[in-house]
Amino acid sequence: MNKGNIIILLSMILAFGITSCITESSKEGTAMPKAGKKSNNSSLLSMYHKDPVNQAQMDENAIIDYAIDKDLKPLRLPSGVYYLVEEEGTGVPLVHGQPFKAHYAGYFLDGQKFDSSYDRGTPIASTVGRMIPGWNEALKMFKTGTKVKLLIPSRMAYGASGFPGFVPPNTPLMFDMHILPITGK
């Protein structure tokens, strides 16, 4: 084999290797959710982690699997909290330190309810900033009267400690929330 043929052969091997690398790396960016379902929500699929290496990535995948399974198209905040406005409110968004009232039902992503103000018949009354981080962030985004579904990663909920007796450690949560007007004193 002469020098020219060797160069051509090496060029072909190099080109094939580069093409293979490009093809493999593009496959990694299109990992499918564990649920195996197809979704028309490319923004959800783009956030999916093929091989999660930490709790945040595992939570994100669990939330994406849940959203795809329920055919939801939530929006994502930089913190990793996902939300879906079901009914827009008319008031002004709350601010840190402001009192609020809300009815809510909290669920694990398997659908099991772990808490509900609806079941107690009394909305929660507290202050923005004194709730789990995912709620504090969400409350400042929505107007009074808003009904919203929140999908909250564990670090924005009860984290590695969980809430003993109610929420296990490292558990992403879903809340149906209705922000209520505060009336009376």
User: Among 124, 179, 176, which residue's Cα sits nearest to residue 149?
Assistant: 176
CA 25: distance to chain centroid?
25
Rounded CA separation 110/65 (Å) = 11
Span 73-124, pLDDT tens digits: 999 999 999 999 999 999 788 999 999 999 999 999 999 999 999 999 999 9
Query: Buried (b) or exposed (e) across 88-124, using 16+ Cβ within 10 A?
Result: ebeeeebeeeeebbbbbbbbbbeeeeebebeeeeebb
| H runs (alpha helix) in the chain | 3-28, 42-47, 55-69, 117-120, 133-139
Other CB atoms within a 10 A radius of the CB of residue 136 amount to 16
128 belongs to a structural domain: yes
User: Among 155, 158, 164, which residue's Cα sits nearest to residue 54?
Assistant: 155
Q: Say if residues 71 and 37 touch (Cβ distance below 8 Å).
A: no
11 belongs to a structural domain: no
Mean of pLDDT over the chain: 84
Span 143-173, pLDDT tens digits: 999 999 999 999 999 999 999 999 999 999 9
Tokens 């409110």 label which residue?
Answer: 89
18 belongs to a structural domain: no
CATH no. for residue 116?
3.10.50.40
Indicate the SS3 state at residue 119.
Answer: helix
Who has greater pLDDT, 21 or 121? 121
- Catalytic residue positions? 104, 114-115, 132, 158, 175
121 belongs to a structural domain: yes
47 belongs to a structural domain: no
Instruction: Copy the structure tokens of residue 125.
Output: 């009354």
Pairing of strands 124-127, 113-116: unpaired
15 belongs to a structural domain: no
Domain count for the chain, please give it: 1
31 belongs to a structural domain: no
Distances (CA, A) of 80 to 45, 70, 112, 172, 185: 14, 19, 22, 11, 35
Span 29-54, pLDDT tens digits: 445 565 555 556 677 888 898 999 99
Range of the domain at 92: 55-180
40 belongs to a structural domain: no
